[in-house]
């Protein structure tokens, strides 16, 4: 029994330490100085707003909805449409950081349904990769959503160990 107790104690201490670290920092999204003209509440932003969230800055430059592919082999499923979002992220940290379009961005609709990224022929540039301190990267995020989906919004959260996210309304 004694040999089982030690690993359990270590596991419990490790879990408590992780929970303390993960909940210790809270990021609040706020509009950057001179960053757009939206009059939305502090937690919700619009296309064109420059949003600071922790060590990150994010901006949606534009949205193509629906996006129509010029490639006959790249078409959404019947009843769906493509949405392409022109996005830019900046690393405001003093050390290199990695941005992932899959991990940092989530598209939701007015019914709170989330959508996965998809591949279109809209662009070859993405926001994925390592960013040096102060560096920015601009690219496109592509999603396939039902024709009936409304109230689309992009959630941004790139720091997995802190709370807080930015919501950017796309309509």
DSSP per-residue string spanning the chain = -HHHHHHHHHHHHHHHHHHHHHHS-B---EEPTT-------TTEEETT-EEEETTEEEEEEEEEEEE--SSTT--PPTTEEEEEEEEEEEE-SSS-EEE-HHHHEEEE-TT--EE-B---SS-S--S-EEE-TT-EEEEEEEEEEETT--S-EEEE---TTSB--EEEE--
**pLDDT one-digit tens code per residue, 106-163:** 999 999 999 999 988 877 688 999 999 999 999 999 999 999 999 999 999 987 776 7
Q: What is the mean pLDDT of residues 16-32?
A: 52
Give the domains, in start order, of the chain with CATH numbers: 26-169 (2.60.40.1240)
């Amino acid at each position: 029994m004694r040999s089982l107790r030690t690993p359990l104690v270590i596991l419990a201490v490790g879990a408590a330490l992780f929970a303390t670290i993960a909940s210790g920092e809270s990021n609040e999204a706020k509009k950057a100085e001179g960053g757009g003209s939206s009059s939305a509440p502090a937690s919700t932003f619009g296309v064109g707003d420059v949003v600071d969230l922790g060590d990150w800055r994010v901006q949606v430059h534009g949205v193509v909805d629906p996006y129509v592919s010029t490639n006959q082999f790249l078409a959404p499923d019947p009843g769906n449409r493509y949405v392409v979002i022109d996005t830019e992220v900046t690393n405001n940290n003093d050390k290199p950081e990695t941005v992932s379009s899959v991990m940092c961005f989530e598209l939701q609709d007015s019914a709170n349904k989330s959508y996965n990224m998809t591949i279109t022929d809209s662009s070859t540039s993405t926001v994925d990769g390592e960013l040096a301190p102060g560096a920015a990267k601009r690219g496109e995020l592509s999603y396939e959503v039902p024709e009936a989906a409304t109230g689309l919004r992009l959630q941004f959260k790139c720091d997995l160990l802190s709370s807080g996210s930015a919501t950017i309304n796309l309509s």
